[in-house]
Amino acid sequence: MDTIRTPDAQFEALSGYDFSPNYHEITAQDGTLLWIHYLDEGPRDGETILCMHGQPSWSYLYRKMIPLLTEAGYRVIAPDLIGFGRSDKLTTQDDYTYQNHVDWMSSWLTGLDLKNLTLVCQDWGGLIGLRLVGAHPDRFKRLVIANTGLPSTKMITDDMSEMLGQMYQTIPVPDAAMVQEQFAGGAPGAFLYWVKYAAESPSFSVRDVFGILSGIEDEAILDGYTAPFPDDRYIAGARKFPSLVPLRPEGKPDREAGDKAWAVLEQANLPVLTAFSDGDPVTNGGEQAFIDRLSNVKNVTIKGGGHFLQEDTPEPLSREIITFMQDT
C-alpha cells in the first residue's frame, strides 16, 4: 500500500484545536507500517472516554467537548482513523475496506492496551467502534451511540441489498447540490446519491460535504475540518467510506460481521446511551434498532443538532454523557 502523511504545517493554529499530538505505529496486513494519531487529554487516573469520529471529519470534531469532559475528571482519547486527520493516508481507494479499518483500529486499541472504556461514537465511528466492542467486549464499560448504526443481515436482507445494488446503477453521478436536494427531500435513495457522489463525482470536495451535512459557515472552522486534505492525493479514504457501508450485495461479509458484533452486544448487557440529534438527515430514526435489540438502554434526543452533533451541540451532548457515566 502506498501511504502519504499530511504535513504538520497544515495543523498549526487551527481554530479551537490546541492539543498535543500522540502517535502509535501499527503494521497492516501486507506489512505496511501505519501511524495512527490520537489525542490523550485529561487526568491519567480518570475514567477513559474513547471518542471516535466518522467521515470526513477527524479528532477536530471533539475539540469543543474535550475540555468539558476533562473538566469533569475524565480522560479523553480521540484517534484519527487511517485516512483522516494526522493519521497516515492511503493513496488508493481500494486499499480501504471496512474490515481493514476494524483491523487497524483493533491493533491500535490492543497496542495501547486501553481498558474500561466508555465508547462515544458517531457516523463511521460507530460502524467501526461497535465492531471493536464486538471483538474486544472486555475492554469496554459503557457505550454512547450517536448518529450512527451497525449494519447487519437483519437490517439489510439479501433481497434489499440486491434492490439497492440495482438502484445504485440507475443513479446519475451527482454533484453536491444534487445530494443535498435528495437529503432535504427525504428521498429513500438519498444515501445512494451520497455514495455515488463520494466515489465517482469529479467535483467531490470535503468542504462541500460539510455544506451538505452541516450548517457551518465559519471559514476558520471549515479550514480546520479540511486541514488534513491539502489536495486530492489525500482524500481517497474520505471518498471511499460511503461505499463501504455494506448496502449492496458485495457487502454481505461485512453485514455478517455486523451480526457477530450484534450478538456480542446483546449478550454483554453494557449500559448504553443512545443520543441521536433531531436534525440529522442521514441517521434519522437509527436509534430504534439499539433500543429494540439491547436491554440496558437510556435514550435521549439531542435537540438542535445536525449530523455532526459534536460540532452543533457539544454542551448538551457532553452533559448527557457525564450524567450517564455518573449514573452507571
Model pLDDT, residue 189: 87
Looking at the predicted structure, is the pLDDT value of residue 201 above 90? yes
Model pLDDT, residue 58: 98
- In sequence order, the 6+-apart residues with CB closer than 8 A to the CB of 238 are 55, 56, 83, 84, 198, 206, 209, 229
Phi, psi of 241 (to 5 degrees): -50, -50
Cα distance between residue 80 and residue 108, in whole Å: 11
- Residues with catalytic annotation? 123, 280, 307
pLDDT in tens, 297-315: 999 999 999 999 999 999 9
Model pLDDT, residue 100: 98
pLDDT in tens, 249-288: 999 999 999 999 999 999 999 999 999 999 998 999 999 9
Find the mean pLDDT for residues 210-220. Answer: 90
Mean pLDDT score of the chain:
96
Looking at the predicted structure, is the pLDDT value of residue 188 above 90? no
Model pLDDT, residue 141: 98
Find the mean pLDDT for residues 31-52. Answer: 97
CA angle 206, 208, 213 (to 5 degrees): 100
Find the mean pLDDT for residues 53-60. Answer: 97
Model pLDDT, residue 26: 98
pLDDT band at 175 (very low <50, low <70, confident <90, very high): very high
**3-154+253-327 carries CATH number 3.90.1170.50:** no
pTM of the model: 0.97
Helix (H) or strand (E) holding 300: strand 297-302
Looking at the predicted structure, is the pLDDT value of residue 145 above 80? yes
pLDDT band at 239 (very low <50, low <70, confident <90, very high): very high
Model pLDDT, residue 288: 97
Model pLDDT, residue 170: 95
